[in-house]
């Protein structure tokens, strides 16, 4: 069974940093591209970042480019999101999502974690 478990969320002040983690199990993690998608309270879904299976290809939403860094450790079956210079508008539940494609970053999200809440407030 595919499982994705996010952690690392919490309350942080504007301008602060936070690192999210996603522990994957139940599939060959090193074969799949992975993604972060967020959802502000009461709002819709927003794609944040994607990383290919070997980390060769990385993409970011314009809203986070230059502030967030996605990475992965295939030996640890883990995905990460380093978030710097956080703003109030980054407040959201952050979901880790598996990409349906193995050979590329396809942008189709077939499995999702339960999410971790990040609150940016003074």
Instruction: Give the residues lining the site for other proteins (CB under 8 A).
Output: 37, 44-47, 50, 59, 61-62, 95, 100, 105-110, 112-115
Report how far residue 31's alpha carbon sits from residue 99's, in angstroms, rounded to the nearest whole number.
Answer: 10
CB 10 within 8 A of CB 118: yes
What is the closest distance, in whole angstroms, from the C-beta atom of residue 9 to other proteins in the complex? 14
What is the closest distance, in whole angstroms, from the C-beta atom of residue 109 to other proteins in the complex? 7
Based on CB atoms, which residue is closest to other proteins, 41 or 122?
Answer: 41
What is the closest distance, in whole angstroms, from the C-beta atom of residue 5 to other proteins in the complex? 11
CB 19 within 8 A of CB 84: no
DSSP code of residue 32: S
Q: Is the dihedral of CA 107, 5, 37, 16 positive or negative?
A: negative
Based on CB atoms, which residue is closest to other proteins, 89 or 110?
Answer: 110
Based on CB atoms, which residue is closest to other proteins, 42 or 122?
Answer: 42
Based on CB atoms, which residue is closest to other proteins, 8 or 16?
Answer: 8
φ/ψ (deg, to 5) at 38: -125, 165
């Amino acid at each position: 069974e595919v499982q994705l478990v996010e952690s690392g969320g919490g309350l942080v002040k504007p301008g602060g940093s936070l690192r999210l983690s996603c522990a994957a199990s139940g599939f060959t993690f090193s074969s799949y591209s992975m993604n972060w998608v967020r959802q502000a309270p009461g709002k819709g879904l927003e794609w944040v970042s994607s990383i290919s299976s070997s980390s060769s290809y990385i993409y970011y939403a314009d809203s986070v480019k230059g502030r967030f860094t996605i990475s992965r450790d295939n030996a640890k079956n883990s995905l990460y999101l380093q978030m710097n210079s956080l703003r109030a508008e980054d407040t959201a539940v952050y979901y880790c999502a598996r990409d349906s494609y193995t050979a590329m970053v396809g942008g189709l999200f077939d499995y999702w974690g339960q999410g971790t809440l990040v609150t940016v407030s003074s």
